[in-house]
Amino acid sequence: MVKGILGIQILGMLFSIIMIYFTFLHYKRNDYKVEGFFLWLALWIGFMFMVVFPTSLDFFIKGVLKFGRRLDFFIVLGFIFLLGMTYYNHYIVKKNNRKVEKVVRAFAFRNKK
């Protein structure tokens, strides 16, 4: 049970609520499909749960994964996330470069005729 809510927990909850609101706005603007909306909604609710109950994953973090501290787990998780996002961004940039190159070649070919 939560003994007292700290200032950082209040900030985390406010952040989650704001991000849920932004996710809802993007969904209403058709930026997300239903699956994407529910994925982000679940992530923000999970983040809010972790902020309010920070010891809820201790069994998994300390018992199963054998991390000494929660912070170590979240730092490693953050690095994994950043590496994954870097790879994804690299993939998207290369894909866009190929598309731009294809359009430029087609435009140059048409102008040459």
pLDDT band at 34 (very low <50, low <70, confident <90, very high): very high
Domain borders along the chain are 1-56, 57-113
pLDDT tens-digit series, residues 37-84: 999 999 999 999 999 888 888 999 999 999 999 889 999 999 999 999
Taking residues 87-105, report their average pLDDT: 96
Predicted pLDDT at 54: 85
pLDDT band at 1 (very low <50, low <70, confident <90, very high): very low
Radius of gyration of the chain measured on its C-alpha atoms: 21
> Considering the entire predicted model, what is its pTM?
0.68
Distances 95 to 11, 34, 47, 106 between C-alpha atoms, Å:
38, 25, 32, 17
Question: Rounded to an integer, what distance in angstroms lies between the CA atom of residue 44 and that of residue 4?
Answer: 22
Please say if the pLDDT value at position 23 is more than 50: yes
